[in-house]
Amino acid sequence: MHKLLSVLTVFTAFGPLGAAAPGPLPPSGLRCEYLVHAMGVDVASPRLFWRLEHSERGARQTAYQVLVSTTPSVSAGDQWDSGKLASSQSTHVAYVGKPLESGTTYYWKVRYWDQDGSASPYSAVTRFDTGLFSDGDWKARWIRGGNQLRKEFQLAANPRRARAYVSGIGYYELRLNGNKVGRHVLDPGFTAFDKRILYVTYDVTDHLRQGANAAAIMLGEGWYRGRAAILQIDVEMADGKKLVITTDGSWKGAQGPILSDSIYNGEEYDARKETPGWDLPGYDDRAWAPVSLDDPPKGVLSAQLMPPIRVVGDIVPLRMTNPRPGAYVYDMGQNFSGWVRLRVKGPAGTVVRLRHAELLYEDGTLNVENLRRARATDTYILRGDPEGEVYEPRFTYHGFRYVELSGFPGAPKLDTILGRVVHTDVAPSAGFASSKPILNQIQRLVFWGTKTNLHSIPTDCDQRDERMGWLADAHLASETAMLNFDMAAFYTNFLRSIRDSQDATGAVPDVVPATRRGPADPAWGSAYPLLALYMYEQYGDRRILEQHFEGIRAWAESLRSKSENGTVNFVKYGDWVPIEPTPGSLVSSAYYYWSVDIVARAAEILGKKAEAETYRKLAEEIAAAFQKRFYNPESRTYANATQTAMTLPLYLGITPEALRRQVFANLRDDIVYYKNTHLTTGIVGTKYIFPVLTQLGRADLAYELATQTTYPSWGYMIENGATTLWELWQNKTGPSMNSHNHPMLGSIGAWFYTALAGINTDPKSPGYARIRIEPQVVRDLQWASGSIDTLRGTVSSSWSRTPNSLRLEVTIPAGSTAEIHIPKLNLADLTILEGNRPVWQNGAYVAGIPGVTGARDGGGDIVLEALSGSYAFESIGR
């Protein structure tokens, strides 16, 4: 009910009776390229974002003024003064001032004019930093030489400004004068290193000081399976003098306490080999070897413009058992990605082992069978500090719920270890809750399953010897991810990685970055057009479509080259891990159609008329060929009549209008009568069956499937102890493929927001500029509440009901408009009140409610037209 409460608070603060100061308030939430205080922006014309704040309903922007300056006060827009520009745009506003300089800090602020022409005060000043724009800006060289690298340098005074540009592959940690710089872990993000390597820009002004300084870098193997680093610190002194500290041949290297590190196998750390003081000035490194200058890796250096991987939180173990002598097993109570922190005291040379697993055997010992070849073991060798020692690994991570501790000197306690949750630190941007506990439990699985599979790329799983960017997993889970987290910068980066791995034929690999060769299964590679489309729909990102238009067109063409008479037989996985398999050619052909359809849509959006026509026509031909090949007019089903086979053409609109009802009736019968209200779908069908049931008026059936607790269902996972989403519907624990943390079946999470809370963006006015609120009030659901923190501001929808009334509270951000559907629920003599005043009565719209501009009878619901603001509707009938 928390969400309901917060909606209420907003309502009373800013509602029609609210007493807040009238008029436009300073814009908030300023961002550049989706990031707050973006560092290292290497985009020539970065896009700026702000949120409109206003005390009244119906608020919108009619003009804005942006000032960008290199001086912090921004008293003038010496780099860019947009002037008062008539425009409603408050997101993705492209910087068009003086050409941006490399390695510079830009400060900016914005104000806007509202619907009445009143100007808001200016926002608070914010900033972004540019990165290094060209190869020539990089003075540093790649170096290698052991897993610890160091260099001392002198500064004549404390610097006025200092920026570090750094990367190191596979993984690195930058340290200055004894301190870790920043809170990132497991940098850089995973890319195809022969194409692109990501660097990070840090403000290190406060890390440096007059006199001797030390720069130090630790390296791990990561995905590169080798070690090399590059660092450049650009320093500006108070007197304007500039100097550059770079990795070069004068650095020294040595092998430190990390004996080995591997993403899958874990880290071995011998604390006796630590080199205290090595990251401080004055350390005697005469025994260290000079580094070797490395041939630069082939990939270009690009700024890492997405949220970093961080330790985002701690988990205290629930319990500790001692299932066999010397082995203690901790239950963290939650499956997650990361590692544990160990506290230990004992003699030097004691070897302590931490093994990680998702599962236990009946006897309480660890079951690591489903990790396959990943050893997931961290080893710590004590230095023998009488004060005790603390260890946590640096260059590995595990997916686990249970930890086995062995070799521990003495008797461990519950607080001997602490869970450290590690993943890309995307901000949670939404919430969903309802009166049905099982839905809230599924939301929890989805939340954990989604975020713990974000590790700079969307991973398939976080525990076994895989953890890769499998593309079907990526697109099937992406809408759910976008609705629950702020994913825009993350997928912007990932889309670029997909393009980086596209070959000359337009094909992309199944896995990005490509750790496997060969063209993708159509359902996998279609992540390319699909993610671009979702970025456009959810975030309103048109530039993504521009940048990737040729790429997604080439992808569609690669499918065309594989097609015969309009359908595609090429398939590797199809509707993966189903209960009832669907012919792969049907799935591949559906994605062929969809890819072409997205190219046509993108061309329409971008005003590419010729391409729009070509691909629209091609899409129609594919639909006709699909229909001809897979539709069975006698049974009015498709192919082998599985749920997936019927869902895909319905979802994509391939089924001709006149046949939709009949096909749908067969789908419904299959679910209800033949499968006793259970799914038979794999990962593909599972995502689309919920919207299909909802669109065709059977949200109640979708709800029954969602709340099912017997096999196969999410409830079945929960009843069998799941705390993240499983890879399979089956409860397997053996050595075969059965991860217990795979995000792909989390596609259901999107349906909670779009159907139960009823929050939808209009694809024609994407990014929630135009919103459709259409909650599904079904079966025994008494209330549901969803709230999404969009780029334009919060959108929320919360409803609750009694036998003869429905209360619906809605928030629409300033600048957006909405169509609000209030279900009639078969009530007679319906009256709809807003703040105690009628807006619908005696079968007609009653004008006069601020912000509501009209209403109509939509059949099963009353459809209100509303401007921005917070509303509380009460619909009462008999």
The catalytic site residues sit at 466, 727
Q: What is the DSSP pairing of strand 171-176 with strand 211-220?
A: antiparallel
**Distance (Å, rounded) from C-alpha 842 to C-alpha 854?**
15
Nearest CB to ligand BGC, comparing residues 520 and 535? 520
Residue pair 774/758 in contact by the 8 Å Cβ criterion: yes
Among 460, 479, 789, 819, binds ligand BGC (CB under 6 A): 460
Q: Is 512 in the site for ligand BGC (CB under 6 A)?
A: no
What minimum distance in Å lies between the beta carbon of 828 and ligand BGC? 51
| Residue 622 structure tokens | 């594919």
Among 66, 192, 376, 472, binds ligand BGC (CB under 6 A): 472
What minimum distance in Å lies between the beta carbon of 744 and ligand BGC? 6
Q: Is 573 in the site for ligand BGC (CB under 6 A)?
A: yes
Q: Is 461 in the site for ligand BGC (CB under 6 A)?
A: yes
Nearest CB to ligand BGC, comparing residues 317 and 574? 574
Region of 117-125, 274-282, 466-474, 647-655 interacting with ligand BGC (CB under 6 A): 466-474
**Distance (Å, rounded) from C-alpha 679 to C-alpha 214?**
60
Among 56, 473, 486, 861, binds ligand BGC (CB under 6 A): 473
| Residue 815 structure tokens | 């600048």
Q: Is 306 in the site for ligand BGC (CB under 6 A)?
A: no
What minimum distance in Å lies between the beta carbon of 742 and ligand BGC? 6
Region of 49-57, 247-255, 406-414, 468-476 interacting with ligand BGC (CB under 6 A): 468-476
Nearest CB to ligand BGC, comparing residues 28 and 736? 736
Residue whose pair of structure tokens reads 């009736």 in the numeric block:
665
Nearest CB to ligand BGC, comparing residues 14 and 470? 470
What minimum distance in Å lies between the beta carbon of 449 and ligand BGC? 12
Region of 223-231, 355-363, 403-411, 470-478 interacting with ligand BGC (CB under 6 A): 470-478
* Residues in 358-377 at the binding interface with ligand BGC, rule: CB under 6 A: none
| Residue 651 structure tokens | 């979802």
> Angle at Cα 512 formed by Cα 91 and Cα 561, nearest 5°?
95
Residue pair 267/129 in contact by the 8 Å Cβ criterion: no
| Residue 132 structure tokens | 């290094």
**Distance (Å, rounded) from C-alpha 478 to C-alpha 476?**
6
Instruction: Select from 70, 41, 68 the least CA-distant residue to 236.
Output: 70
Among 576, 626, 714, 768, binds ligand BGC (CB under 6 A): 576
**Distance (Å, rounded) from C-alpha 184 to C-alpha 311?**
8
What minimum distance in Å lies between the beta carbon of 264 and ligand BGC? 14
Instruction: Select from 99, 93, 97 the least CA-distant residue to 81.
Output: 97
Nearest CB to ligand BGC, comparing residues 142 and 190? 190
What string marks each residue from 49 to 88 as x (binds ligand BGC by CB under 6 A) or -?
----------------------------------------
Q: Residue 121 carries which DSSP code?
A: P
What minimum distance in Å lies between the beta carbon of 672 and ligand BGC? 30
Q: Is 173 in the site for ligand BGC (CB under 6 A)?
A: no
Q: Is 575 in the site for ligand BGC (CB under 6 A)?
A: no
Residues with Cβ < 8 Å from 189, sequence gap 6 or more? Answer: 198, 304, 306, 309, 456, 457, 493
Q: How many residues bind ligand BGC (CB under 6 A)?
A: 10
| Residues, the chain | 878
Region of 16-24, 185-193, 464-472, 751-759 interacting with ligand BGC (CB under 6 A): 464-472
Show contacts of 541-546: CB within 8 Å, 24+ apart.
Answer: 541/92, 541/488, 541/492, 541/767, 542/92, 542/605, 542/606, 543/47, 543/92, 543/94, 544/492, 544/495, 545/602, 545/605, 545/606, 546/606
What string marks each residue from 775 to 814 as x (binds ligand BGC by CB under 6 A) or -?
----------------------------------------
Nearest CB to ligand BGC, comparing residues 606 and 728? 728
Angle between helices 471-484 and 683-695 (to 10 degrees): 40
Nearest CB to ligand BGC, comparing residues 108 and 726? 726
What string marks each residue from 700 to 739 as x (binds ligand BGC by CB under 6 A) or -?
-------------------------------------x--
Paired with 619 in beta bridges are none
What minimum distance in Å lies between the beta carbon of 737 and ligand BGC? 6
Q: Is 466 in the site for ligand BGC (CB under 6 A)?
A: yes
Give the helix/strand (H/E) hosting 665: helix 657-669
What minimum distance in Å lies between the beta carbon of 830 and ligand BGC? 48
Backbone torsion region of residue 411, taken as left when φ is above 0, otherwise alpha when ψ lies between -120 and 50, otherwise beta: beta
Nearest CB to ligand BGC, comparing residues 389 and 580? 580
Give the helix/strand (H/E) hosting 148: strand 148-155
What minimum distance in Å lies between the beta carbon of 576 and ligand BGC? 5
What minimum distance in Å lies between the beta carbon of 196 and ligand BGC? 23
Region of 22-30, 110-118, 223-231, 465-473 interacting with ligand BGC (CB under 6 A): 465-473
Q: Under DSSP, is residue 363 helix (H, G, I), strand (E, B) or coil?
A: coil
Residue pair 840/794 in contact by the 8 Å Cβ criterion: no
Q: Within 10 A of 287 (CB to CB), how many other CB atoms are there?
A: 8
Q: Is 514 in the site for ligand BGC (CB under 6 A)?
A: no
Q: How many CA atoms lie within 13 A of 200 on its CB side?
A: 24
Nearest CB to ligand BGC, comparing residues 213 and 681? 681
Nearest CB to ligand BGC, comparing residues 371 and 461? 461
**Distance (Å, rounded) from C-alpha 94 to C-alpha 760?**
26
* Residues in 734-773 at the binding interface with ligand BGC, rule: CB under 6 A: 737, 742
Q: Is 470 in the site for ligand BGC (CB under 6 A)?
A: yes
Nearest CB to ligand BGC, comparing residues 343 and 732? 732
What minimum distance in Å lies between the beta carbon of 467 and ligand BGC? 9
Residues with Cβ < 8 Å from 812, sequence gap 6 or more? Answer: 771, 795, 818, 866, 867, 868, 869, 870, 871
Residues within the interface to ligand BGC (CB under 6 A) = 460-461, 466, 470, 472-473, 573, 576, 737, 742
